[in-house]
Structure 1
């Protein structure tokens, strides 16, 4: 089966720091892939390369079997239409009402009339469990969990083929994090979308991922089915998923 997303030999450095060192990764159509790893391991850089926000130093990134690394602006815009994105902090526009935030893509990118876009926004808010009255509020009037739901509604507003989730549960209490995880699973399934998430939250990774890949020191050191991660046979993976201070992964802190 042809991969929806396929990376081969992707590298990215910033000066002497090698952030990505030859990444090979395939994500099948309709699959939910979660990339785990500690802070500073290159997860966000990997996501930005796939999105086209950064250009890798070398390697291939194909979307639907189309090479995207060297695409001109027009071709890049066509590829970007396939993407939806849930940003780490939500990244809602403070000056826009909730429905205007959700409708931003349909209006700005698709040229949809505001009245029609508002109907789409209300429907998507309903898909994440928020009533029409929430659409008239401003982001500052919402709790963190509700803001995250609005951001999810915006990510699915254009019914994308591929959705990226950047640390979707950061800053949420465990119960609200689980609510968001459930909504992500439901929304991705309802759309039949392909999902790529980056997180260090193992509860989230286990719930939303069909497969998990671990990034460490710029390399994918393990990837496989979510159900298999507890038996990875890799000491780095074992230390990370169990949250142990002792192990081969050394935090950059001085010993007390």
Structure 2
């Protein structure tokens, strides 16, 4: 389990009244959410409920329509240019599909941010990349391969090595175990715990995988129709008394969550 943050500390991420619509579709409807320093918060919810939009707003990839997103107490909504870059320096990201550059060898993928954003020379960057690959259980020979030569699990490991390469203070995980078999998924969960813990980082994840939730989360928040409908310690997720949470975590077709299905 990732080391938890201290109670009463200033939130690492503080979200208030966050809204976002795309045309007539209201995706976020007033999100309030805190993530404490060194805490691992996992956001769960069905497809299309706003999980990915929430993370993209925090990352600054999408501008919210209204609301506040503070990082270390600093308002980040509306930041651009150098001010946005300064905040982004605190972030690391593991994308759902790994999002590796096919044309670059693995070590350059891992070192991409070090070279492009931090100006680190190729020799030093390669050494750092190999250290980060070792941290996720991959040898130096993997650094010379290309992403197409890797299995899905290895690609996830490389993506994790890239996410931690710049020693971020906050790491975002977008469906980190999607597409992996249960054993490899557990390996990735273990590596997330290890890597985030060794950095003393804060983690904000979104996932459908309840096994992953139970392994990596301190707290869980469930989003439904653009609102947080429950949040609490992961140990309380089986006794919430919330019909939406119970239906989701047990994967039941019957319940208050209605999935849109087109007739055949």
The normalised TM-score by structure 1 is: 0.99
Q: Does 1:89 align with 2:97?
A: yes
In structure 2, runs of 5+ residues without a counterpart are: 1-8
Render the CA deviation track for 1:15-59: whole Å, top value 9, x for unaligned.
111100100000000000000011100100000000000011000
Q: Secondary structure at the match of 1:94?
A: coil
Q: Number of residue pairs matched? A: 256
Q: Matches of residues 45-194 of structure 1 in structure 2 within 5 Å?
A: 45-194=53-202
Deviation at 1:254, TM superposition (A): 4.0
The normalised TM-score by structure 2 is: 0.96
Deviation at 1:233, TM superposition (A): 1.1
CA distance in 2, matches of 1:93, 1:33: 28
Root-mean-square deviation (CA), in Å? 0.8
Deviation at 1:255, TM superposition (A): 6.2
In structure 1, runs of 5+ residues without a counterpart are: none
CA distance in 2, matches of 1:227, 1:141: 39
CA, structure 1 residues 255+246, in 2 after alignment: closer, same or farther (shift >3 Å)?
farther
Q: Does 1:211 align with 2:219?
A: yes
Match of 2:210 in 1: 202
CA distance in 2, matches of 1:120, 1:32: 25
- Pick from 209, 234, 257 the counterpart of residue 226 of structure 1: 234
CA distance in 2, matches of 1:144, 1:70: 37
